[in-house]
Structure 1
Amino acid sequence: MTSWFASPDDASARLHATGYLADAATATTAYLAGALEKPLLVEGPAGVGKTELAKAVARASGAELVRLQCYEGLDEARALYEWNYKKQLLRIQASGDEGWDETHDDIFTDEFLLTRPLLTAIRREEPTVLLIDEVDKTDVEVEGLLLEVLSDFQVTIPELGTVTATRRPFVVLTSNATRELSEAVKRRCLFLHLDYPDSEREREIVTSQVPGLPDKVATQLVEVVARLRELELKKAPSIAESIDWARTLIALEIGDLDEEAVRRTLGVVLKHSSDHERAVKELRLAATR
């Protein structure tokens, strides 16, 4: 059995060392995912650190990160494996008078197999973190492909047989909750919900990532971001965008995040014109109250 973290405190400390500030629930769940060798389903709004958690686990453990980016239309050939049909055809053409049985056994081998992220992670003998990112964006049928991997850490290839992991990967699935995942998938996973941090924690995250940010500006920034997230926007600012905003303020040598500074730099955190207009209006109204 692979030991990923010695304890929740060890997980917290080692994730922190990579720049990921995990709260107690996150550190505990990350520890349990490794100790129990169970996939971890992380759900929450976009930009709260779900994907970054998988990357941080890989950095903290020195493991290789294998990522399956999910999208509508993803199929088995892109998620698991496919055969190199062009290469197989060339081999068949070169086989001459060989019988089909001999040719069949020859073309369905590793030489002709194109591994995709799920099979790649299963076959690796070195420590591996498998990130199945934004699983809620796939079609429901794709979840069936995941069940064998999530429950038994194996992949069945009809022509070759069953490939079972000799070293189980640390599996992280992320979801923005745009649709409900099946109970079969959830049953195989530990669950962690990540939400936007409170202002104090976000301030800690931002200042750890942006050295040199004045305390006054850091406080102003997280307060404005918190107010923006309360508005009905198409896309609320993520933690990464808060960090980008902090770096922008340093680059522009802004020492006071007043109304003018917000207006000038708001495009760093809001990427829709309607959101920009609403935010400027609401923040101006708030300032006059």
Structure 2
Amino acid sequence: MSTPAYPESPDALAAALRETGYLADDGLATAAYLALAMHRPLFCEGEPGTGKTALAQALAQVLGAELIRLQCHDGIDSSQALYDWDFPRQLLHLRTMEAAGSFDATAVEASLYDDRFLLARPILRALRTSPSVLLVDEIDRADDEFEAFLLEVLSEHAVTIPELGEVRAAVPPVVVLTSNRTREVHDALKRRCLYLWLDHPDVAREIEILRSRLPGVPERLAQQVAQAAHRLRQTDLIKPPGVAESLDWARALQLVGARSLDVDSAARTLGAVLKYREDADRVKDRLESLLAS
């Protein structure tokens, strides 16, 4: 099985990402291009809402690959990432064989651990699927033991299922790991990857993103939303808005018929951009200064 064709330069990758609606600056395009060219995982770190997950989604579109997402959480273990056996179907199969009079214990056991009863979780699916982009989202929420397991899988591009044997990727998946930096990820995992820090875009780039993703948004409204979002990020909020919230806000304003962002329209649509009551209460009293040109 041949390796999928990758863009031939950072500029070509940036142009291809732009076609999907993802606007990459030079640093991001270069890091992503090198990850593809060097066949290394890309470790993306930054505040929530800076486009880490969206980058993996855009890369999958560019490469014509299946996006396979592993959402990490506290307590995640290797079985949740690799595979499990479909116990109810195995039990039904066992009863069917018993009813048919099959008593060869060895044959019965072998038939129970057939591929048809295997529940492939994200990592196993990514190893078996080509081309694929494996998104390991919020790795900082997992524990040290899971990190060590993941490091081994990323090094070998293979796993062993005791009942079936080794599964090795014919073409290794493109791997993107994300972290919101709620804790430090171990150096051993970072050394295996290329590193990329993502910041919130500046106002000019955010305007460009809004115009690209929402072609119908008035230019003035896009400018005002981007400027307001930038100011909100400089405010002491529990959850500063990311680009996704800016897009939601601009879309909400469009839907209520707003051609520009004023105090009234901002107050009515604040739930699209702020997700905590405390943040909304803090901002409502400052909307006029927040929206001042």
Structure 2: segments with no counterpart, 5+ residues: none
Which of 62, 65, 70 is matched with 2:64 structurally? 62
TM-score of the aligned structures, taking structure 2 as reference length: 0.91
1:79 maps to a residue whose letter is A
Alignment CA distance shift 1:285-1:206 (3 Å): closer
Alignment CA distance shift 1:99-1:47 (3 Å): same
Q: CA deviation at 1:108?
A: 2.7
Q: CA deviation at 1:23?
A: 0.8
Pick which of 162-171 and 89-98 moved more: 89-98
Deviation per residue, 1:192-232 (Å, 9 max, x gap): 11110000100110111122322222222211111111111
In 2, Cα distance between the equivalents of 1:91 and 1:220? 62
Mapped pair 1:178 → 2:197: no
Local SS of the residue matching 2:84: strand
In 2, Cα distance between the equivalents of 1:284 and 1:250? 20
**Contact 1:3/1:35 (8 A) holds in 2:** no
Aligned residues: CA RMSD = 1.9
Structure 1: segments with no counterpart, 5+ residues: none
**Contact 1:3/1:34 (8 A) holds in 2:** no
Alignment CA distance shift 1:211-1:91 (3 Å): closer
1:181 maps to a residue whose letter is V
Partner residue of 2:38? 36
1:21 maps to a residue whose letter is L
Aligned residues: 286
2:250 maps to a residue whose letter is A
Partner residue of 1:251? 255
Q: State how 1:231-270 maps to structure 2 within 5 Å.
A: 231-270=235-274
Q: CA deviation at 1:92?
A: 4.7
Partner residue of 2:124? 119
**Contact 1:135/1:175 (8 A) holds in 2:** yes
Deviation per residue, 1:252-271 (Å, 9 max, x gap): 22233222332222221011
Deviation per residue, 1:127-176 (Å, 9 max, x gap): 11111111112232211221222112111222322211101111111111
**Which runs of at least 4 in structure 1 moved beyond 3 Å after TM superposition?**
86-93, 102-106, 282-288
Alignment CA distance shift 1:151-1:287 (3 Å): closer
Local SS of the residue matching 1:141: helix
Alignment CA distance shift 1:63-1:285 (3 Å): closer
2:246 maps to a residue whose letter is S
2:184 maps to a residue whose letter is E
Alignment CA distance shift 1:51-1:286 (3 Å): closer
Local SS of the residue matching 1:130: strand
